[in-house]
Amino acid sequence: MGILTSAGDLPVNRDETRDTVRTLYDAYARRDFERVAAFIHDDIDWVIYAPLSVFPFAGPRHGRAEVLKAMAGIAAAYVLENYKAEITIVEDDRAAVISDVSFTQRATGRLLRFRVANFLRLQDGRLIEFREFSNSFDVVEQALGRELNL
Amino acid sequence: MGILTSAGDLPVNRDETRDTVRTLYDAYARRDFERVAAFIHDDIDWVIYAPLSVFPFAGPRHGRAEVLKAMAGIAAAYVLENYKAEITIVEDDRAAVISDVSFTQRATGRLLRFRVANFLRLQDGRLIEFREFSNSFDVVEQALGRELNL
């Protein structure tokens, strides 16, 4: 190991990444948000790609406090019903996951079901980079309970 | 090698997958659609998650002929300007890629720029499974050239 190597520079093992991602997703699926919060790195760089006008917790967030606030925003508006990873791809410190998810909208009781595609990067066993994609046009229509007028 | 092993059952090497995905993306980025077409498996299972009302080439497609038709639909309506992979994650026969892409809408000259997240699976050196996510709400607004009225 070179003298300049610091903890953050250690090569990350694929199996370690897979274990951490699995633990993180299992915790989220059983709504153990405290356990999830423990995996959020202080310097996390996070984006949910969706319109803020409909999903105020979406968009870019920097740092642990902002991300926990976004997650609290999701939980305030939606009850997580189901979160099932369908495809997981892991390489070194990164993972990509497609999940089949469903949420009940608290204000209306409406059930939203869609797929999300997440890209994650870990550092020191925690989540430091996060990108979430979905078919946001479809999710907006489900959230509003009607087709959008184009 | 077991007597029941057929070509399709051979374990796929990560480096092989990475090379094929890179070749495929390089070909697409330089608009060599014939080269891309050669990588489409006969039995491909393909979904672009976006509204068909705005992007008629989106949605699920099965088999090579349908996919080539969808790709021709994209090329008929949009000129590919830029396609740059930003994050690539490879494991065995699968890859996930986030790209920064831009297209000119032929009908209006409008430039659309957005990110796409692709999940790919290869078989026999060809693309047999494909999922494309984007912030489709934002891409619809860019395609229409105006904000959607919610």
Element (H, E) at B23: helix B14-29
CA nearest neighbour of A54 among A79, A77, A82, A28? A77
* DSSP-assigned states of every residue in A6-55: -GGGSPPPHHHHHHHHHHHHHHHHTT-HHHHHTTEEEEEEEEE-S-TTT-
State residue B7's pLDDT score.
52
- pLDDT tens digits, one per residue of B1-37: 444 444 555 667 899 999 999 999 999 999 999 999 9
ipTM of the shown complex: 0.92
Q: Are A10 and A113 in contact (CB under 8 A)?
A: no
| B18 CB within 8 Å of a chain A CB | no
List, in sequence order, every residue forming a beta bridge with B130; answer none if it has no partner.
B46, B120
| pLDDT, mean of residues A4-19 | 73
- pLDDT tens digits, one per residue of A37-89: 999 999 999 999 999 999 999 999 999 999 999 999 999 999 999 999 999 99
pTM for the model stands at 0.93
| A17 CB within 8 Å of a chain B CB | no
Tell me the count of A-B CB pairs closer than 8 A: 85
Both tokens assigned to A145: 């309970």
Residue B86 and residue B24: Cα distance in Å, rounded? 15
Contacts of A32 (CB under 8 A, 6+ apart): none
Element (H, E) at B24: helix B14-29
Contacts of B50 (CB under 8 A, 6+ apart): A135, A137, B58, B59, B132, B134, B136, B139, B140
CA nearest neighbour of B74 among B52, B62, B58? B58
- pLDDT tens digits, one per residue of B86-116: 999 999 999 999 999 999 999 999 999 999 9
Does the pLDDT of residue A146 top 60, yes or no? yes
DSSP character for A102? E
Annotate B78-104 with b (16+ C-beta within 10 A) or e (fewer): bebeebebebbbbbebbbbbbbebbbe
For helices B136-144 and A136-144, what crossing angle results, to 10°?
100
Contacts of B64 (CB under 8 A, 6+ apart): B40, B41, B42, B43, B44
Q: Are B36 and B24 in contact (CB under 8 A)?
A: yes
Name the closest residue on chain B to residue A54, using Cα atoms: B150
Name the closest residue on chain A to residue B96, using Cα atoms: A96
Question: Across all residues in chain B, what is the average pLDDT?
Answer: 94
Residues of A in contact with B49 (CB under 8 A): 115, 134-135, 138
Using CB atoms within 10 Å of the CB of residue B11, give its burial: 0 to 12 exposed, 13 to 18 middle, 19+ buried: exposed
Output A8 or B33, whichever has higher pLDDT: B33
| B136 CB within 8 Å of a chain A CB | yes
Contact A137 B140 (CB under 8 A): yes
Contact A135 B140 (CB under 8 A): no
